[in-house]
Structure 1
Amino acid sequence: MNIFEALRQDHEKQRLLLKILVETHGDTAARREYFDELKDELERHATAEERHFYVPLMDDDNAVELSRHGIAEHHEIDELVEKLDGTEFSSPAWLRFLKQLKEQVEHHLDDEEQEFFQIAGRILNEKQKKALGEAYRDEMSELA
């Protein structure tokens, strides 16, 4: 599995968890469970993605700015997760913050898949793509 396939696989999981969460209501066990899973997924993904996708690409002048932008978006997502963490699950504000998180995460994933993957695809050779995919998957497993 190359790096793009590995990242897309996790992107789909994040999209699904966000979709499920938006459909939950009130302070339910399901809301807590799905949010904890999403929070863990986003944290592990950001760490592994930064190490095994963004950092290696920063060696190329054509990818520096996009890498910085992607990492900055990870921090914005972290701040929204923190805001959700500090809000009661039953509060109407929780769902409002979740919708902001969903919008931010989906924007980030779309940016990566529609713009950054194409640039990275021209920078990385096939051997690098596969090695980064394996390193990313290994780290995701270690962080689990």
Structure 2
Amino acid sequence: MAKLNIYEALRVSHEVQRTLCRRLVRSPVDETRRRDLYRELKLELAAHAAAEERFLYAPMLMDDMGLNSSRHALAEHHEIDECVEKLGKLEPEGEAWLTQAKKLSEEVHHHLREEEKKFFQVSGKILKAGQKEELALKYLKDYERMKLELAG
């Protein structure tokens, strides 16, 4: 049986993020429900980004071929962080909240699409099969640790 590689491990979190974004944008005007979904998405995004940056982006930054795409992906993580921060400052019942939630969802979906269609291909040419499996294990361990730490 083949071992899990870094891309398969990341796609699991990507699907969670997509689902949470859809639920957030479609949620009825209910302050408690929206705050809960926001916290869940914020936690997922932060844990995923931290582990992904350590165990996919960092190795890619070490190779000239991966430099530009890694920098771009890091910049998108920063943009997503800013959207999360802005959303957290808004009242969940307001129209501005829904507008910002949609912006966040669009940013997340764009990033995931680009990462899966472009970044994974570039990094796939750089990383060896054994590295991809080793990075998956390290990513998953750190992802779970970060989720626990961030949930506090």
Q: TM-score range by the shorter chain?
A: over 0.9
Q: 1:8 aligns with which of 1, 7, 11?
A: 11
Partner of 1:105: 108
The residue correspondences of 1:69-108 to structure 2 (distance < 5 A) are 69-108=72-111
TM-score, length-scaled by structure 2: 0.92
Deviation at 1:26, TM superposition (A): 1.8
Identity of aligned residues (%): 48
TM-score, length-scaled by structure 1: 0.97
Give the distance between the partners of 1:10 and 1:19, measured in 2 at CA: 14
Give the distance between the partners of 2:109 and 2:27, measured in 1 at CA: 19
Structure 1 gap segments, 5+ residues each: none
Q: Which moved more, 1:28-37 or 1:78-87?
A: 28-37
Alpha carbon RMSD of aligned pairs, Å?
A: 0.8
Partner of 2:38: 35
Deviation at 1:141, TM superposition (A): 1.1
How many residues matched? 144
Q: Is the 8 A contact 2:47 2:144 kept in 1?
A: no
Give the distance between the partners of 1:15 and 1:142, measured in 2 at CA: 21
Deviation at 1:32, TM superposition (A): 1.4
Structure 1 stretches of at least 4 aligned residues deviating more than 3 Å after TM superposition:
none
Q: 2:54 aligns with which of 43, 51, 56?
A: 51
Structure 2 gap segments, 5+ residues each: 148-152
